[in-house]
Amino acid sequence: MNPKFDIQGLSVYFNRVPYLLSVHLAVSANRILSIIGPSGSGKTTFLRALNRMNELEPGSHVEGAVLLDGQDIYHPRYDVVGLRKKVGMVFALPVALPMSIYDNVIYGPRLSGNQRHRQNELVEISLREAFLWDEVKARLKTSALRLSGGQQQRLCLARTLALEPEVILLDEPCSGLDPISTAKIEEALTQLKERYTIILVTNNTKQAARISDEAAFFLMGELVEAGPTEKIFTMPSDQRTNEYITGRFG
């Protein structure tokens, strides 16, 4: 089966400083791929290269190719707006936009002129998939800023799901959350992988071991190794991977 993402020699520079060097990686569909590695290893840069968010920063420069379903997303004629709808993203810090819960969820679909009669349905489905519906169904029109941090992060997930994307990128989505909220997000992700390709950056190696099918270990801007999660966590082929997952550094 063809990979969803085929990353070929991807390097990312900011002001000529390399943050990611010559990464080759194939990402299969309908799996959870976890990206692990210490801070500053290029995990987030890698993730943001997949929906071209890096270019919002001044001085960014990308080399190599990132094929999504066989098409290079860095081709000059590739439609970035369309890309970001296909490849949704959830950030490390939950950012609810200062509007109602309903308006937050429907923000993306509205941008492309989604028909009104489908909106209510889409909001409900997305919130259900993010395990948030029961907590907010009675107050969809109230401000999203009144939700707790854990709820806001699930709202962010719902907002991404409402795009009906093919891939979901998550950048340490549980870093500021309590164990119960974390469990809810993980449960959501495990169910969502049936229909989406999920790439999860996490600082929590236990989380990676718990929910991911495949894992990739990054160190200082390089991909050290990637493979089935079970193998990475039991018999890593690189000494550095072993040291990281057993907690000897990072």
Q: Which residues are at the interface with another protein (CB under 8 A)?
A: 51, 53, 56, 58, 81-82, 84-85, 88-89, 91, 93, 95, 97-99, 107-108, 111-112, 143, 145, 156, 159-160, 163
**In the complex with another protein, which residue's Cβ is closer, 87 or 174?**
87
Closer Cβ to another protein, 89 or 219, answer by number: 89
CB of 46 to another protein, least distance (A): 16
Q: What minimum distance in Å lies between the beta carbon of 119 and another protein?
A: 15
Q: How far apart are CA 48 and CA 244, in angstroms?
A: 23
- Structure-derived torsion over alpha carbons of residues 204, 215, 12, 4, reported in degrees to the nearest 10: -130
Q: Which is nearer to another protein, 143 or 190 (CB)?
A: 143
Least spacing, CB of residue 91 vs another protein, in Å: 7
The CB-of-206 to another protein minimum distance in angstroms stands at 27
- Our CB check for another protein shows the closer of 57 and 238 to be 57
- Minimum CB separation from another protein for residue 21, in Å? 25
Cβ proximity to another protein: between 158 and 223 the closer is 158
